[in-house]
Amino acid sequence: MHDILVCVPLIYCDHNFIVTAHQGPDVYKDHLRRLVATGAVTLVLSPTHWIEAAEDNDAARGIAKADFMDSLQTRWLHNRRSIQRREVSDAFFSFARIPSEAPQMIGDVRAVIADLAGEPAHRDSRAFVIHLHDIGDNHPLERNLRQAFETNQANKARFRAGAMTPAIVQNTERLYIEQLLPTETPSRVVIDADSKNRFLSACQMTDFPCLALEARATHDNWREERQLNRNNFMDQQHLMALPYVDFFITDDARLRTLIARISEGLPFPIATLLSKVEFDRRYP
């Protein structure tokens, strides 16, 4: 007998898919659970889903969504900043020929919550959504999202005023990457400034998939003079999943158009887009 390696596709679901499925009939929910239980698919979500569930005007409905998400045995992307830090660290260690383990961008619910909390945690989505709801705008996830949105809006205004020249953009991106660099090797050796500078001079934004997509989306927003609000800015947070899953479910026409524009010429693969109808046809 020969061993056969079966690759279960990683399928990212945007928030609208989760909302629609949660509001749908029980038979559809059971169908999704069965797809996961039989190994047909692995569904992937992100911390953005927790934020959106915590912000539901109906707190009980938000908690029910959290329970539903965990009932799907979902895997979870680490938060945006953590993924970007892991991308930069991995690229740096490769550049410096320093042995290191491949970074894990996706984990189980407890591992991702522990990473967010900075300490081991034994929470599920329900507990974390309640935690987010209770703390509100002062939670670090909310503050980081708000800061990213405000920075984006400020830079958009500078771009429209002609102040964001290519040189300034390049320097800003270099400074951002520098902030994400590791301070020591996996064996706890402090990394010197010269090694960091050589890496910064040699790297390109496309060496970091999540960062590259975020930068392209940001620049596209500037050029198209897109009026961003918190809701569509939140929608764009889902883009970080694209390099790390096989399929990406969304029916958001604007998001699909944006993805088509910013993915052109990328040197790394990204997920295939599926509508909910296409997903249901593929996995009846």
Specify whether the CB–CB gap between 184 and 191 falls below 8 A.
yes
For residue 65, being part of any structural domain is answered with yes
> Tell me, what's the pLDDT at 6?
56
Domain residues for the domain of 130 are 10-282
pLDDT of residue 162: 78
pTM of the model: 0.89
Q: For residue range 174-191, list pLDDT tens digits in order.
A: 999 999 999 999 999 999
pLDDT tens digits, residue range 207-263?
A: 999 999 999 998 888 887 777 777 777 788 899 999 999 999 999 999 999 999 999
Helix then strand then coil, in percent of the chain rounded to 5, is 65, 5, 30
Within a domain: 129: yes
Domain presence at residue 2: no
Q: What's the token pair of residue 81?
A: 């900043």
Whether 4 is covered by a domain: the verdict is no
Q: What is the pLDDT of residue 157?
A: 79
Looking at the structure of the chain, the number of domains it has is: 1
> pLDDT tens string for the chain (284 positions)?
444 445 889 999 999 999 999 999 999 999 999 999 999 999 999 999 998 999 888 999 999 999 999 999 999 999 989 999 999 999 999 999 999 999 999 999 988 988 887 766 668 899 889 988 887 676 777 777 788 777 877 777 787 887 778 888 889 899 999 999 999 999 999 999 999 999 999 999 999 999 999 999 988 888 877 777 777 777 888 999 999 999 999 999 999 999 999 999 999 999 999 999 999 999 99
Distance CA 146, CA 242 (A): 22
Tokens of 236: 């764009």
pLDDT the model gives residue 35:
97
**224 assigned to some structural domain:** yes
Let me know if residue 3 belongs to a domain.
no
Q: Is the dihedral of CA 69, 70, 74, 75 positive or negative?
A: positive
- Does residue 102 form part of some domain? yes
Question: 273: helix, coil or strand?
Answer: strand
The residue type at 6: V
Report if residue 1 sits inside a domain: no
CA-nearest of 228, 226, 232 to 48 is 232
